Amino acid sequence: MNPLIADPALPRDTDPPVIVALDFADADSTLAFVRRLEPQLCRLKIGKELFTASGRHLVEQLIHQGFDVFLDLKYHDIPNTVAQACKVAADMGVWMVDMHTAGGRRMMEAAAEAVANHAQRPLLIGVTVLTSMTEAELAETGHSRPLAETVQHLAALAQSSGLDGVVCSAHEAALLRQNLGRDFVLVTPGIRLDTEANNDDQRRIMIPEQALAAGASHLVMGRPITRAADPVAVLRSIRRPE
């Protein structure tokens, strides 16, 4: 057994700030990378590409290795369909699952109700406005309010509909933290170790310490970890503020 892989029977007493985005094309390359990690150091995110390629089996394999898994499938459908999907995710043992807040109050309430009595209830997270969208693109979809206002509005709707938190840009974290309280979960992508370096396709970025200080609960990081020469050293260097 790989000594870096925790015995799933051992209790987890850490709350690592980073969720590593496993943006790999298939299960083999994912598992080869994850072999270098350990559950005390990070959580893992599986998105649409990897889930479509490798599905439930891979998710369950990673959970069995002791990792908390964020199933990032951004559900957006009628209330019953999303509620049932969240229930299946809970049965799989995922730690966090997300949906589009644009699906509305009834959809989010149905999802919350579907997992409420689950022994290991996953955290339910809402996506407000995708951070890839510009103000002009949002307006084109029929939203007349400024983007920042729409994000605040949808995050408040998510909270009052029973969700545990939202995905947001780190630039929105401080205001959301202030408006929605200390227990609301804020998951922030767009994190880079060096804001001067190559930022890939991310535009509004922040370094980990800044994002955590602004109120982020969890940092979603893909390439800064997956392409690092020593991913474990990078993960160890990122700490929550004292």
Closest CA to 197 of 171, 174, 223, 179: 223
Partnered with residue 6 across adjacent β-strands are none
The reply to whether 126 sits near ligand C5P by the rule CB under 6 A is: no
Contact call for residue 47 and ligand C5P (CB under 6 A)? yes
Rg of the chain over CA atoms, in angstroms?
Answer: 17
221 interacts with ligand C5P by CB under 6 A: yes
Residue nearest to ligand C5P as judged by C-beta position: 222
Which of residues 16, 17, 18, 21 is near ligand C5P by CB under 6 A? 21
Q: Which stretch binds ligand C5P (CB under 6 A): 24-32, 50-58, 82-90, 220-228?
A: 220-228
Name the H helices within 93-205: 105-115, 135-140, 147-160, 170-180
Contact status: 23 vs ligand C5P (CB under 6 A): yes
Does 74 qualify as catalytic in the annotation?
A: yes
The DSSP code for 103 is G
Q: Which is nearer to ligand C5P, 47 or 208 (CB)?
A: 47
User: Which residue from 227, 232, 236, 220 is spatially nearest to 2, judged by alpha carbons?
Assistant: 232
DSSP 207-224: -HHHHHHHT-SEEEESHH
Residue 208 binds to ligand C5P (criterion: CB under 6 A):
no
CB of 1 to ligand C5P, least distance (A): 29
Q: Among residues 174, 194, 198, 197, which one has the least CA distance to residue 184?
A: 174
- Residue 21 or residue 110: which is nearer to ligand C5P going by CB? 21
Q: Which is nearer to ligand C5P, 167 or 180 (CB)?
A: 167
Task: Count Cβ neighbours within 10 Å for each residue of 68-89 and write b for 16 or more, e otherwise.
Answer: bbbbbbbbbeebeebbebbbeb
Contact call for residue 220 and ligand C5P (CB under 6 A): yes
**CA–CA gap between residue 93 and residue 99 (Å, rounded):** 17
Among positions 153-172, residues that touch ligand C5P (CB under 6 A) are: 167
Of the pair 161, 202, the CB lying nearest ligand C5P is at 202
Q: Rounded to the nearest 5 degrees, what angle is found at the Cα of 161, between the Cα atoms of 155 and 163?
A: 65
Helix (H) or strand (E) holding 195: none
Q: Nearer Cβ to ligand C5P, position 69 or 114?
A: 69
Which residue in the set 15, 135, 137, 200 belongs to the binding site for ligand C5P (CB under 6 A)? 200
Candidate ranges 54-62, 138-146, 207-215, 216-224; the one touching ligand C5P (CB under 6 A): 216-224
> Binding to ligand C5P by residue 131, rule CB under 6 A?
yes
Active site residues: 74
Instruction: Give contact residues for ligand C5P (rule: CB under 6 A).
Output: 21, 23, 47, 130-131, 167, 189-190, 200, 202, 220-224
